[in-house]
A and B are shown apart, each in its own frame.
Chain A
């Protein structure tokens, strides 16, 4: 069982959350020419690295907020959590 520290609600079990994938993926800017390659990178291509991974989770059975979680994909250790709009250094 993973325990995720929701920045809004505190420590909760993984059962309350739903996974949202890589949080480092940025949607291409609007109002400018977007190449096919940029769309590909946004929609399909992922680094999916072994080790530290910044990802989105939704506290679906709690406050229903999207949050960012920094987690190790090999050990499943969770280092830090952030609000969705927080910049991650």
Chain B
């Protein structure tokens, strides 16, 4: 594989950049693979990469219905954080933070990881207490957390509404300084390029139409481009999980819901961090191009539409304007939607299934992007070793049966309630 470097950049400039290698190939499916990963999104591509890199399993195919990176890895708001209270989520995400910090070097691809810090605003004494508790829990797990008072928040984000007569005054906030953002497309492309170079077949425009299961064991998949035999199959299809689960007669604690995001026109640098509103569900950061990147609530009903509806957008942006009134002056540039695999406790599932050789990775709710490297790493381990790693042991499928839920937000089984 051609290394991306300043030297190669200069060298290729002499041939008008016409002779760069393709970043990944377009192979036809082989008859058989050791592992087939369904879903060419961030998690699927990362899984294939870590299967090859960490476990030396390279007879791997990624099967993607559309094109790689066209789903949620290309539709998110690029936020990376590990500000979780529960051990399972905190330790898993913090392991991921370490992978994020090394990712550009690891993949030889600039993912533009920008640890600019995330601030969750608090709007009452009770919320400050809750954040103090969460911050303490984070620090016990080795995650950086700083509790900010009103004056400290004002220094960092003076453009927020600190006037006296607001409905939700800012009391302070909880900051994770090491959190940040990354260039989401580059994450997908970087993983794809490295996986491809190690022998993984990335097969696009190939829809899975069925599974070949006999005697409780997976033997392969049926696709729109023919049957493919596989010793092991991993599902990494986020919002389409229920569609594939139905073909396997599996009932999962997952509902598919629509989540929207939007960006404003680009403006000069105004916001250094990721900031979330504490009295509702709204978050904002500023992209390198200057656009304000914003998102918030689900549309609130089961949906596979991948496009949103205006009432929710209006509701979310009303919260944004309450927090930072200057946002009302901006023009909207784009809005879009993606379909989320909402699990019933708000936490993901990375586990084996009752079918031998079939592995499940789903339930990412709002937080799939930041989990990309840790999800890929632990899912690759689970597939390669046929057992879960201690980092994803809590993300079991049967926790809903045993009662070991990881209900970070206290939302219960209605994760779509806003």
Pair B304/A1 contact, Cβ less than 8 Å: no
B413: A residues at CB distance < 8 A: 43-44
Interface residue from A37, A44, A47, A71 paired with B344 (Cβ < 8 Å): A44
Q: Which of B254, B305, B309, B401 contacts A48 (CB 8 A)?
A: B254
Partner of B304, one of A37, A43, A55, A74: A74
| Alpha-carbon separation in the docked complex, A37 to B398 (Å) | 11
Residues of B within 8 Å of A46, CB to CB, are: 242, 251-255
Q: Which of A47, A48, A74 has the most CB of B within 10 A?
A: A48
How many chain A residues touch B (Cβ–Cβ < 8 Å)?
A: 27
Does the CB pair B304–A50 fall under 8 Å? yes
Q: Which of A1, A15, A40 touches B400 (beta carbons < 8 Å)?
A: A40
Q: Does A79 contact B (CB under 8 A)?
A: no
B311 in the interface (beta carbon within 8 A): yes
CA distance in complex: A71, B251 (Å): 21
Measured between beta carbons, the chain A residues less than 8 angstroms from B242 are 46-50
Which residues does A use to contact B, with CB under 8 Å? 1-2, 13-15, 19, 21-22, 36-37, 40-41, 43-50, 53, 55, 71, 73-76
A-chain residues with CB within 8 Å of residue B310 when the two chains form the complex = 1
In the complex, how many residues of chain B place their beta carbon closer than 8 angstroms to a beta carbon of chain A?
24
Known: A21-B414, A74-B303. 9 other contacts (CB 8 A): A40-B253, A40-B401, A43-B413, A45-B400, A46-B251, A46-B252, A48-B242, A50-B304, A71-B301
B299-313 at interface with A (beta carbon < 8 Å)? 300-305, 309-311
Tell me which residues across on chain B come within 8 A of A14, comparing CB atoms.
309, 311
User: Which B residues lie within 8 Å of A47 (CB)?
Assistant: 242, 246, 251
A82 to chain B, nearest CB (A): 16
CA distance A55 to B305 in the complex (A): 17
| B83 interface contact, C-beta 8 A | no
| A-B interface, 3 closest residue pairs, ranked by CB to CB distance from nearest | A44-B253, A45-B251, A48-B242
Q: Which residues of B contact A71 (CB under 8 A)?
A: 301
Given the complex, which residues of A lie within 8 Å of B305, measured CB to CB?
Answer: 73-76
Please report the C-alpha to C-alpha distance between residue A24 and residue B401 in the assembled complex, in whole angstroms.
Answer: 21
User: Which residues from chain A contact B309 at a C-beta distance below 8 Å?
Assistant: 1-2, 14, 76
On whether the beta carbons of B400 and A48 are closer than 8 Å, the reply is no
State whether the Cβ of B248 lies closer than 8 Å to any Cβ in chain A. Answer: no
Interface check B194, CB cutoff 8 A: no
Q: Mark B388-403, 1 if CB is under 8 A from A, else 0.
A: 0000000000001100
Cβ-defined partner of B302 (8 Å) among A2, A15, A53: A53
Asked if residues B253 and A45 are in contact (CB atoms below 8 Å), the reply is yes
**A89 → B minimal CB distance (Å):** 21
